[in-house]
Structure 1
């Protein structure tokens, strides 16, 4: 599909007087940051309002605006299964749609793709809140909204990661994307604050503002997003040709030159006839080095993260006996920790030994895995300590909750951003450019399956006590840690094998 410049390209050029690539890159980084923060802000309200949807004898009718019997059909004894089912439906559809989303993102104009996805996501968020206004009590209505939300919200991640990957290179990718990925936690914080403000009086209003923000963001994306630097007209060439046209002509020239040299080496035609502009398919992507292993790592890491995302306010309300509004405020600390953890793990994975290796891509991915291993190893004892805390409002409990957010969301943030970008631009692709969205979709799709499984399993385990839930979370964290350990060990073994081969070749060459 032919890409087009946005309607507001003229004003953008007026602001960007020197046609500075860096200014446009910073703008894309900030815009995608806002976009995905709004995605997460729209997902958070359900975890807050579930504390008032089900029957709760601790709630005071005179302050909540309705009785403590809850909101039908969630006022029954199986409320945890019903609410857990809604979360599972959304996340399962989201995970399955992620693969399709990555496929489409490689083949369509990202400006249209992202803006339409955001607009429909805003409508679905707004529609969930309308159940309060129109007194809707049909479980099928909520199921339909969750299915629709899962379909349209899957548009976000492959699109924003591809846009950032198009405009930003590999230099200090871990730190830059660690800072950028704080949009998930910021969105959760905004969603928690908005939902917490309305949850005790009118739970439906918790969804209205996030929905409007999404629709406004869709308009901004449609009017201003430039998909790739090659689409921007360059003033430095002294003509009206765009960089994309220049690149096309250069590729034709290089292709002709390569064709003339192909008779000299029987192996060269096999490499040179590969269409580097052809989007990579699912099988090719999943078989790339470390893609499947990192996908499994994210499956278990995201399981833990999303269980906290959806069930932490409920845990604080029912176990620690705090109000729904206070639970929303306390849960923000988990996301604050996520911001800190994402930045720290990105910086740590960038700051490791940068000595030249035989395989720079493999060395980078090994450093990322080491950083994940360290944080995941810290997460397990922190989860146990938080469960054993007697008072959720104590300073120590709040500190441990923040540390839990850092150690859990840090690896999750690194894998979904810097690692996905590393895997989508590794040398094994042999220059294939259009692979980032597909690989990102595979990794985040697998992670989203874990995100779907965690809240569902939590809903089934809650009747048996929260200790069973935390045991499940700790087990999942340890499995994620084992995946990171496998990547480290496997990469190190490959490094030593390649080093021995390289040494033998050098020795033979010196003898000759």
Structure 2
């Protein structure tokens, strides 16, 4: 039977309705794509610094306008590691705060202000300082710390907005596709930097922050944070909107959110996993340039294959998890496979084809679980039974898990350059494998509880089935006995008289 096409419907809309279990309006499309690309721009600003690190190091150590800003490449590399660490610490602290505020105040305005402040700090950090040759370590740290705090508004609020608009019928599929926004942003930032870098490392920053600022303007004036946020101008619908807002339960609160089952385990697991993923994020282009001696633009283009693997994993694993009884089991098996992918990549030959393929695998098995935890799993936890269907803890849950993960990432950005300096790149990859082992151990108790719960449910179903069969047999026996008794009553007098 051909798909039904209504007055406003199309074949694609009918397909999405079948997959997601809900009708996609124009607002659904707008919310999905705006939040997707706005957070992609946020990630692109971070990736720009990681991509242009060799150029920044060269500029800082060979300043033609005066004495070099940094004494050596080693000092410049460590200072960049300090910047990454400062960014992640501030980002982590901001996530705990922004996630809670996102459940109490207007998400649309908070998101817009956060993106605008991030665009301003990136513009000053990357463009103004280099254009006017303002080289100051405290200024660099201040601007990048401001950027970290500003960007912390993005993820928890955008996940909450997505949770308000999209239901749970196909959460793995929808959130799996949507969570690829970070990897797409990495690719956008890398491609822009690799093509514009020849004019100076400040111009990639200028382009990215301009795009981010434009999305902040659109978010402030046009992005509806929830279906009930729409103002149609109708008095009747305005009254309905007020009733919906009045009937919504109050936010769960920061400390009570930690008590939701699974939040602590996934927070610790996410800290270890983000240690590895952000290690690739911040240092992969530099590793390809410094460790494998490839040109900077060549290394930038090659590093995008890691993000391609993460995008594929987000879509495939997200869709597959909707057809499984547990997302945790799929994440667990992908984490086990990540050991092999990381070890093999650490032994990769100096071949573009082989390196790209192995980066694809590493991105699939490392970036995939990270995207699933930060989107689908977070949405599941934020919509748990304890909340009674209320989404008012979703931003807080997102902030807690992503904030804890960013703490682990901050530790990683401090340790990676020092480990590489003292022990080499192989030691860095062994550290990555150790952190993946810790991630697996943190998730194991959650998987064990889910399997026990499934076993109990299966036992109850089997017991109920046996009871229903027993009741059916008793019912049949009862009918048989009833008929026999009726026959005895019907023939009782003649038989007794005969005897």
Tell me, yes or no, if the aligned pair for 1:111 and 1:222 is still in contact at 8 Å: yes
Q: Are positions 1:346 and 2:318 aligned together?
A: yes
C-alpha displacement at 1:399, in angstroms?
0.5
CA distance in 1, matches of 2:71, 2:331: 38
Q: Within the alignment, does 1:240 sit opposite 2:221 as a pair?
A: no
Question: Which residue among 135, 139, 142 is the counterpart of 1:141?
Answer: 139
Deviations 1:170-206 (A, max 9, x none): 1111111111111111110111111222334411112
Once residues 363 and 90 of structure 2 are traced to their aligned partners in structure 1, the CA distance between those partners, rounded to angstroms, is: 26
Cross-structure match for 2:47: 44
Distance 1:251 1:337, change over 3 A: closer
Alpha-carbon offset, residue 223 of structure 1: 1.5
Find the counterpart in structure 1 of residue 442 from structure 2: 483
Larger radius of gyration: 2
Partner-residue secondary structure (3-state), 2:322: helix
Contact 1:382 1:403 in 2 (8 A): yes
What pairs up with 1:407-486 in 2 under 5 angstroms? 407-463=365-421, 464-486=423-445
- Matching residue of 1:399: 357
1:33-182 to structure 2, matched below 5 A, reads 33-54=36-57, 72-73=69-70, 75-129=72-126, 130-182=128-180
Aligned to 2:11: none
Structure 1 residues 226, 503: CA separation in 2 closer, same or farther (over 3 Å shift)?
same
- 8 Å contact 2:88–2:148 — kept in the other structure? yes
In the alignment, which residue of structure 2 is the partner of 1:30?
33
SS in 2 for 1:53: helix
Count of residue correspondences: 445
- Aligned pair in 2 of structure 1 residues 74, 191: CA closer, same or farther (>3 Å)? farther
Q: Which residue of 1 aligns with 2:451?
A: 492
Tell me the equivalent position of 2:210: 212
Q: Give ranges in structure 1 of 5+ residues lacking alignment.
A: 1-19, 256-275, 353-362
Hey, what's the Cα distance between the residues in 2 that align with 1:232 and 1:74? 56
1:213–1:248: structure 2 CA closer, same or farther, 3 Å change rule?
Answer: closer
Distance 1:380 1:410 in 2: 14
Cα offset, 1:285, TM superposition: 0.6
Residues 1:173 and 1:378: Cα distance change in structure 2 (over 3 Å): same
1:186 is paired with a residue whose SS is helix
Structure 2: where are the runs of 5+ without partners? 1-22, 475-499
Bigger fraction of residues in helix: 2
Distance between the aligned counterparts of 1:77 and 1:100, measured in 2?
Answer: 35
Task: Measure the CA separation in 1 of the matches of 2:236 and 2:243.
Answer: 11
User: Partners in 2 of 1:72 and 1:250 — Cα distance?
Assistant: 58
